[in-house]
Amino acid sequence: MKKIIAPLLVGVALSSAFAADDSLKQEIEALKAQMAELKNAQAKLNVDALKAQVSEIKAHDAGDNIKWTVDFRTAYDVVDYKINGLPDQDNGIWTNKLILGMGAQPLDNVVFKGSLAAYKAFGQTNMSGTSYFQNFDWYDSQKPNDSTIRLREAYFLYTGDMGDVHYSASFGRRPSVDGFLTNLRAGNEDPASPIGHNINMEFDGASFKFDFDKVTGISGLYAKLCLGRGFSNTTGSYAMSSTGFNPGYVNDSNNPNMDLAGLIIQFFDNGQYKIMGNYFMAKNLMDMNVFGMRAAYTTDPMDPTKTVYAPMFNFMDVGDMTGGALSLQVNGIGDGINDFLDDTIFFLSYAFSKTDPNKNQPIGMYGSSLLPMPGMLGSMDSETGSSIYTGVQVPGIMKGQRLGLEYNHGSKYWRSFTYGEDTLAGSKLATRGDAYEIYYILPIAGKNLTAQLSYIYIDYDYTGSDTFFGWTGTPMDVDTTPSAVKTAQNVRASLRYRY
């Protein structure tokens, strides 16, 4: 029986093989036919016409193609102050902070960048009614306010080459908050333009940057001239006085132009070591000049002693200021010692400020009296201040998490331009005293959704750390000055979405 079955199986196998071979031949013939059809169709295409159409579409879209980014943070802050001679003051505040970034590049050497921002306190639409300086131009989108969309950045870059020197020129509202070093605590990988230790505020201006790394062989070497205006001497449209309407946008002699010119130099940057410095001159710095008091509101219409009075004021030029900073950032301690040190960031920075007062003496409030106040930061003499700022950022417990520790100390006459620092208790880098911060960043969904916990403690030695440049910035001992803020704390828990 086995002798009969074996030939049959061989025959079946051979028949199947022949059948498979026929099927394969048919599939090959079908593929050949399809390829022939494709060749014929391709031969009929007008490639030049298609290229012309694509070029036309690209040219048309170049003016419309703006790329948008979203940076949204919702946070809960607790602020707490200990005040000399008065009860502690504290509060908890919910906020939403939205930044819409935009960019376009119609030509290889022309770039536009900008951002719009709204920083809203929950349930609040009239915060400017409770603070004289709520909408000041220096931090208009950096402090909780209402839901109004404000211009945060808007500038163009024109780039080119002069031999081996690459250059760029830029005008507009500057990318001037969360700069070098302070971008770490902000959770931003790339810093904005200035050194955050002494300049962190919004302003309009221009910059001219020249790269010298190719001509010198020094890695990352560049110089940038920055020009900025922090306050404009002009009236508004349909301005009024006691005699009626005035022409619009003419010289307002009551308020000075406030200008700044600075030079930023990146001395070295090889990816691990980065050294930057700046030097600036600020002209026509100002403070309040009080020319009267008005009844703001009363807590009891039947009792005139319970009327609250508020100052009527303009601004007065009190003098000029120079300053500078030298900052080092190290990305990775050592060279391959271990993964922890490789992923550790360390920084150290020194900054100084020096006043140059003029002879102006604005009228200030001394108790209930209005008196002429001396010069800049309460002095008719030139005063020098200094500050050190250091910190470290290390890997957290889980992959992608970051732990940061920071410390800064400012002297009696230290004055920074850090009004745009995103800290509700006041700028810690402006502190005349000691400030400490610890923060922890946790990725929830990669870099698109993160959480951050932070705690800031400020121990003041002198008053006037974060005010203006005249009598309101006078340093007075917080332990002997009634109503002086002695310490401040700011706890923040936040969730942030970026795309």
pLDDT under 70 in the chain at which residues?
1-21, 42-47, 50, 52, 54-64
Residue type, 89: Q
Structure confidence at residue 220 (pLDDT):
96
Calculate the alpha carbon distances from 168 to 15, 75, 109, 212, 224 in Å: 77, 37, 9, 12, 9
Residue 153 confidence (pLDDT)? 96
The Cα 305–Cα 317 span in angstroms is: 35
Q: Retrieve residue 389's tokens.
A: 């700022």
pLDDT value of residue 64? 63
Q: What are the CA-CA distances from residue 11 to residues 3, 7, 20, 22 (Å)?
A: 13, 6, 14, 17
pLDDT at 486: 97
pLDDT of residue 20: 56
Q: Quick one: pLDDT at residue 8?
A: 47
Contacts of 379 (CB under 8 A, 6+ apart): 355, 357, 413, 474
How far is residue 322's CA from residue 443's CA, in Å, rounded to a whole number? 41
Task: Identify the pLDDT of residue 62.
Answer: 55
Q: Which of 422, 354, 434, 421 is nearest to 388 (CA)?
A: 434
> From the centroid of its chain, how far is CA 413?
25
Task: Report the predicted TM-score, pTM, of the whole model to 2 decimal places.
Answer: 0.84
Q: Which residues contact 350 (CB under 8 A, 6 or more apart)?
A: 325, 326, 327, 386, 387, 388, 389
At residue 174, the pLDDT reads 94
Residue 46 DSSP label: -
Question: DSSP assignment, residue 63?
Answer: T
Identify the pLDDT of residue 2: 47
**What gap in Å lies between CA 25 and CA 35, rounded to an integer?**
15
Exposure b/e, 439-468, CB count within 10 A at least 16 = b: bebbbeeeeeebebebebbbebbbbbbbbb
CB atoms within 10 A of CB 108: 7
Residue 70 confidence (pLDDT)? 97
What sign for the dihedral angle of Cα 485, 487, 493, 498?
A: positive
pLDDT of residue 54: 66
Strands 150-162 and 165-173: antiparallel
The Cα 424–Cα 97 span in angstroms is 13
Ramachandran angles phi, psi of 492, nearest 5°: -135, 135
Transcribe 155-211 into DSSP letters: EEEEEEEETTEEEEEEEEE---SS-BTHHHHTT-SS--SSBTTTB----EEEEEEEE
